[in-house]
Amino acid sequence: MAGTEEKTVKKVSTKPEIEESFLNEIREEVIARIQELLIKDEKIPEDIKEKVVQEINEKLPEIVAKRVEGVKEEIIKESINLAVTSRKELLALYRKKEKEKEKEEMFQRFNIHFRIQHMILFTSVIFLILTGLPLKFPGFSPVAFLVDVFGGIDNTRIIHRIAASLLVLFMIYHTLYTIFHHEGRRDFWLLLPRIKDIKDVIQNLKYFFGMTDEKPKFGRFSYVEKFDYWAVYWGCVIMIGSGILMWFEELSLKILPKFILDAAKEAHSDEALLATLAIVIWHFYNVHFNPDKFPGSLTWFHGKITKEEMIEHHLLEYEEIMRKRKQVTEERLNNNG
């Protein structure tokens, strides 16, 4: 911007053009004043008087042009100075706005299928826990009252089974999504544990103990998220498996001996406790009570995370996305060129 301005200034200075009307205005004034001055002096002859006026008249455009050029130069210099300072300010403002814009950019992390699956899952699990806990701790009044809330033991059992059906529905939905949706396939692949996860754990532990200031860099799924995913997988298999055995008890006892069903009951009860603790302590810390997220992240609802979070928690994925974008724009430019 500054360069183009300077160019125009030089162009102006090489071709000094003074408007005729402006020159005439000055000329009239000058001649009028000279004549006034010469009339008072009676010793000077008339023809010399005329010659002086003529000479002044001839030299006037030159004088004016010289002066105007100087003034113009000054005006331009001042304007350029002004432009330079305002350019800096404007640029800073512009950059700030750009940065804010970049900051506001949200990255779609979970698609609608994933979010609906999560909603089904948590609705189901909340009711499963609320209806299951009184059976696990029958003598513990802070949970035992829930049976009355649900309207007696028979209703509690019915609600538990409705919620269980939802969990099965979730599992079917997720399996189909994993098989048939390209994002599902991609995520499943990315969720598989890798050696990098162990390295990340070690790096994070080093960071926790202050041995390094460098946090581990995560891809689309950190080891924490992978753990959560596979914990749910494991939990669903155990809970649905043992649950179905108990739900269709008379049918399963046609094939299996009673002690297998007792073991299923034990597993169901124990895994339920583990899952509840993991959700209430671990998952709630990660998405609710964690100082970054308190009082809770809405990602489960809109599926988006900010660029800041993206860089903080999924740097490798962010870099990957940026690289792809660059590639796309370059390709477009090349195509246009």
Candidates 49, 115, 220, 265: give the one binding other proteins (CB under 8 A): 265
Which residues does residue 306 pair with via DSSP β-bridges, in sequence order?
A: 106
Please report, for residues 4, 209, 218, the alpha-carbon distance to residue 315 in angstroms, rounded to integers and kept in the order given. 41, 22, 6
CB atoms within 10 A of CB 230: 13
CA–CA distance, 211 with 200 (Å, rounded to integer): 14
Q: How far is CA 136 from CA 146, 238, 265, in A?
A: 12, 17, 11
Q: Is 214 in the site for other proteins (CB under 8 A)?
A: no
Please list every residue from 139 through 198 that binds other proteins, using CB under 8 A: 139, 144, 147, 152-154, 156
Shortest separation between residue 240's beta carbon and other proteins, angstroms: 16
Minimum Å gap between C-beta 207 and other proteins is: 7
Among 26, 53, 130, 260, binds other proteins (CB under 8 A): 260
Instruction: Out of 135, 171, 236, 245, point to the residue binding other proteins (CB under 8 A).
Output: 135
Please list every residue from 289 through 308 that binds other proteins, using CB under 8 A: 290-291
DSSP states of 124-177 as a string? HHHHHHHHHHHHHSTT-HHHHHHHHHTTHHHHHHHHHHHHHHHHHHHHHHHHHH
Q: How far is the CB of 289 from other proteins (least distance, A)?
A: 9
Site for other proteins in 50-89 (CB under 8 A): none
* Residue 271 binds other proteins (CB under 8 A): yes
For residues 16 and 152, which CB has a smaller minimum distance to other proteins in the complex? 152
Q: How far is the CB of 153 from other proteins (least distance, A)?
A: 4
By C-alpha distance, which of 317, 291, 297 is closest to 221? 317
Which candidate, 316, 296, 90, 99, places its Cα nearest to that of 222? 316
Region for 151 from its dihedrals, namely left if φ exceeds 0, alpha if ψ lies in -120 to 50, beta otherwise: left
Residues in touch with other proteins (CB under 8 A):
134-135, 138-139, 144, 147, 152-154, 156, 205, 207-210, 249-250, 253-263, 265-267, 270-271, 273-274, 277-278, 281-282, 285, 290-291
